[in-house]
Every structure is written in structure tokens, then in C-alpha cells.
């Protein structure tokens, strides 16, 4: 039974390159990728990272508890900077989640086989990042126990949500994005969960994976229905890549604050989200190749090279957006827009703006050098710098713009408090903890898609199959 409903003659045209290094069979692929999960003794690094993430997660729980008991006054928000780190971190986390949907949905619809090695943990990062992002607007309302009012639930008082509020747009956009991403991620896991079910030796583990696999037996009917559902969800998910961060950008574009009221924000935010998302994929993907050396044959230098090219392309779009922002402010001739340009270049936060230009505009240009695009230490440093730069971008857009409004009498200065830091660092621990728990419970690389890719490579390059493999593993 073929894994794809596409005939063999079409398959050979879909794979221009071999994205699996080394000599592998269907059996070795299953053993390596399932072994990362089923190995009873994970690497020491896994225990250290998971423990550290759990400790920092408790910092987040402490910060949230103190915030709920005391109020949002513990944050550094003030007038005129009513939006500060909470919205900065919300937009930053949402942006990080975009790479997973792009890799999973859009590249799937475009039949890009190189996505197979990175889509699984990129999808997981999407879900965990959206969970971190969702905390901020919910806590920013000041009364998170009443956040269910944001949904149009049936009530006798007829207190319907205010649909003209940007907060409402975020609620529907982010909740839709999270729901579709979760369904898409889980659906793609079902065949691999069945593989773990068949390979696990512990009765309880086998039972849990058996329930999660939803009775998957790999029949032709199951594969046909799986492919239909997967492609439908991919088609639904693809527009979300554009719509979610576009809606987030509308939070600012509908305002009259200098630097916000511009039509460039939707494409500018979407490109920045993909830029930040791919940087985070490299930030975690590169250490995973070191912690689990056996997966280096599946996340190859070709994958690193292509991700670096996407970083370069999206980075150029973002850099172009920075240039246009300053040009619009200057060309408009508007007093307040010109004041914002001056404030960014010479104001109290000028070094944040200069660091932003370096991180997102200048340093990524090194990716024009082919050797550096395959250099692991360089890519890791690049991913960290881009992540910092994208956070600085949101800081420059939000608090930096709000501290200098239309009346000089209300000008102020924003500085985060220790509780701002605690919540932000705590969400990082939450993200790391969830990610490493995922690594131990589910395969970080798609097993059945790597088998399918191996079969395509056999057709493409004329390699033979291992005749001793049983039919269940081969299919």
C-alpha cells in the first residue's frame, strides 16, 4: 500500500534532492526515531533542560499568582505607556508560532519534501508558543476570571462582546489559530503514535499509545481518509499564517499613535513572524542534533542551508519594512511622525533601535555566504540574535512609541518591573518544559513521512529496497 495517493511517476518529480544522509532502510528509520521516545534512559541533557524549564515555570506561576492577587499595577505599565511588556511578549510569542504553520501547511501544499524533517517539532513549538502568548492578553484585562466574557456565550443579560475592540479580534484569531494548529498537529501524529504503540514493550505505555492512535491499523481506507483530512486542514491552516499576525497588526494600525497608523503593518508583521519563527526552529533544532546525534541524518546540512535562506529572505523583507517606516515618517511631513523618527534615532531608547537594526538587518546579511549557511555555531548565534532582534522590534513599536505621545505634558519613561521580568522569563521556562516533555513522549521527526521520503529517494536515485524488510515496516 502506498503512503501517498500520488502515483509513482509523479513522485519522482517531487523530490529534486535527497534529504536523508547515510544508508537507511524503513526499519532503521523506525528504530532511530521511535528509539528517541522509547529509550528508557534519556540523555543527561534532557533531564537538565526539563528540570531547569520546570524550575523557571514555577517562577511564572508565582508571578501570575502575585499578579492576580495584587493587580496589574505590579507591572511597569503607566500613562501614557498603557501597553508595555505584556503586549510586546504577546506579539513576540505569536510570531514564534508562525514557522510551524508555514512549514506544516504551506510547504505541504507546495509538496516541499524538505519540510518532513522539521515539521513535527515546529508544529509543537507553534502550539506551545501560542499557549505562552495567550497568557498575556488574558492577564492584561485585569480580571482574568471574567475572560469568558470575551466569547459570545449565551447569557440572559445580552452582554455581547464589543466586536470593534482589537482585543476581540485577537481572541477569535488566536483561538482559531490554536484550535486548527492543535488538530493539524494531532492528526499528523496518529500514524506515528501507532508505530510507538506497536514497538513499546510496557503494557501501560502500549495502552496509552493505543488509545491515542484511535484504532489506526494502516489500512488503505485509513490512509485515504488521513490524506483527505490532512490536506483539508492544511488548506484551512495556510490562510491563518497570513490572517493571524495581520489581525495582531491591526491592533496597532487602527490607532492614531505615530508610527502605528500605517498600512505596511500587516505584511511587515507577517514577514517578521516567519522570520522569528524560523529563527526559533533553528534555536531548538540545532541543539537537538547535538543531544540526539542519531537524527543528524534526517536534519541534514541541506535543511540548515534552506532554513538559512528563508531567514535571509524574510529578514530582507523586515529590513525593507524598517526603511519604509522611517521613510514614511520623513516623507509625510507630519510633525508627530517626524518627532517619532527623531525619537527613535536620538531619544532615550535610541540604543534599542540601533540594536534592532543590527540584529535583524545587518547581521543576517552574513547568510549570503554559502559556507556560513551550513555552519552550525554561526546559525545558532544567528538564531539567538534574530530572536532578540524581533523582541526589540516589538519593544520599539509599542513602549517606545507610547512614551512620546501628542502632548509633551504627558511624556514619560517606561521601565519594566521585576514582575514583568518574572512573567516573561517564566513563560520561557514553560515553553522549554513543554518542548522537552514532548520530545520524550512523541517523535520529534515524522516517522512515516521519512519512510515515504526514503521510498521517493529510491525512485528518484534508483536505489534498491532491502528485500528482507517485512511488509508492515515497508508500508
Residue 470 pLDDT exceeds 50: no
Which whole number is the average pLDDT over 325-345? Answer: 88
What is the pLDDT at residue 112? 79
Which whole number is the average pLDDT over 271-295? Answer: 88
Which whole number is the average pLDDT over 214-235? Answer: 89
What is the pLDDT at residue 461? 55
CATH number at 8-474: 1.20.1630.10
What is the pLDDT at residue 17? 56
Which whole number is the average pLDDT over 309-315? Answer: 91
> pTM of this prediction?
0.87
What is the pLDDT at residue 298? 86
Which whole number is the average pLDDT over 139-158? Answer: 84
pLDDT band at 459 (very low <50, low <70, confident <90, very high): low
Which whole number is the average pLDDT over 247-254? Answer: 88
Query: Which of 96, 277, 129, 195 lies closest to 443, judged by CA?
Result: 195
Which whole number is the average pLDDT over 203-213? Answer: 90
Q: Which of 8-17, 180-189, 421-430 has the lowest mean pLDDT?
A: 8-17
What is the pLDDT at residue 469? 42
pLDDT band at 392 (very low <50, low <70, confident <90, very high): very high
Amino acid at each position: 500500500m502506498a503512503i501517498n495517493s500520488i502515483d509513482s511517476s509523479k513522485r519522482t518529480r517531487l523530490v529534486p534532492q535527497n534529504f536523508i544522509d547515510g544508508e537507511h532502510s524503513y526499519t532503521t528509520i523506525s528504530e532511530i526515531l521511535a528509539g528517541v521516545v522509547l529509550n528508557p534512559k534519556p540523555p543527561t541533557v534532557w533531564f537538565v533542560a526539563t528540570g531547569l524549564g520546570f524550575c523557571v515555570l514555577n517562577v511564572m506561576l508565582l508571578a501570575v499568582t502575585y499578579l492576580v492577587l495584587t493587580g496589574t499595577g505590579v507591572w511597569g505599565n503607566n500613562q501614557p505607556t498603557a501597553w508595555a511588556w505584556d503586549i510586546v511578549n504577546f506579539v513576540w510569542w505569536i510570531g514564534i508560532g508562525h514557522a510551524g504553520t508555514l512549514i506544516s501547511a504551506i510547504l505541504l501544499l507546495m509538496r516541499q519534501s524538505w519540510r518532513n524533517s522539521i515539521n513535527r517539532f515546529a508544529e509543537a513549538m507553534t502550539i506551545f508558543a501560542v499557549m505562552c502568548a495567550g497568557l498575556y492578553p488574558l492577564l492584561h484585562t485585569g480580571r482574568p476570571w471574567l475572560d469568558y466574557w470575551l466569547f459570545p456565550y449565551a447569557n440572559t443579560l445580552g452582554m455581547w462582546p464589543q466586536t470593534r475592540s482589537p482585543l476581540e479580534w485577537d481572541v477569535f484569531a488566536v483561538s482559531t489559530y490554536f484550535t486548527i494548529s492543535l488538530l493539524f498537529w494531532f492528526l499528523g501524529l496518529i500514524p506515528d503514535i501507532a508505530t510507538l504503540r506497536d514497538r513499546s514493550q510496557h503494557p501501560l505505555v502500549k495502552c496509552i499509545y493505543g488509545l491515542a492512535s484511535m484504532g489506526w491499523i494502516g489500512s488503505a481506507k485509513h490512509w485515504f481518509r488521513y490524506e483527505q483530512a490532512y490536506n483539508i486542514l492544511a488548506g484551512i491552516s495556510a490562510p491563518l499564517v497570513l490572517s493571524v499576525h495581520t489581525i495582531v497588526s491591526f491592533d496597532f494600525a487602527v490607532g492614531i499613535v505615530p508610527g502605528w497608523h500605517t498600512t505596511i503593518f500587516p505584511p511587515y508583521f507577517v514577514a517578521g513572524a516567519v522570520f522569528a519563527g524560523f529563527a526559533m526552529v533553528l534555536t531548538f533544532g540545532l541543539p537537538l542534533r547535538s543531544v540526539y546525534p542519531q537524527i543528524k541524518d534526517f536534519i541534514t546540512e541541506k535543511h540548515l542551508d534552506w532554513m538559512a535562506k528563508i531567514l535571509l529572505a524574510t529578514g530582507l523583507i523586515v529590513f525593507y519594512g524598517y526603511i519604509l517606516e522611517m521613510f514614511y515618517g520623513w516623507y509625510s511631513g507630519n510633525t508627530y511622525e517626524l518627532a517619532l523618527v527623531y525619537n527613535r534615532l536620538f531619544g532615550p531608547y535610541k540604543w534599542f533601535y540601533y540594536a534592532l537594526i543590527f540584529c535583524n538587518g545587518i547581521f543576517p546579511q552574513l547568510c549570503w555566504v554559502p559556507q556560513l549557511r551550513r555552519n552550525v555555531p554561526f546559525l545558532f548565534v544567528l538564531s539567538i540574535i534574530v530572536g532578540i532582534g524581533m523582541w526589540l522590534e516589538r519593544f520599539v513599536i509599542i513602549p517606545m512609541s507610547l512614551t512620546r505621545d501628542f502632548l509633551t505634558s504627558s511624556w514619560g519613561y517606561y521601565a519594566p518591573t521585576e514582575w514583568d521580568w518574572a512573567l516573561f522569563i517564566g513563560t520561557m521556562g514553560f515553553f522549554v518544559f513543554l518542548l522537552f516533555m514532548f520530545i520524550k513522549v512523541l517523535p520529534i521527526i515524522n516517522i512515516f513521512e521519512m519512510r515515504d521520503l526514503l521510498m521517493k529517494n529510491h525512485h528518484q536515485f534508483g536505489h534498491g529496497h532491502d528485500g528482507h524488510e517485512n511488509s508492515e515496516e515497508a508500508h
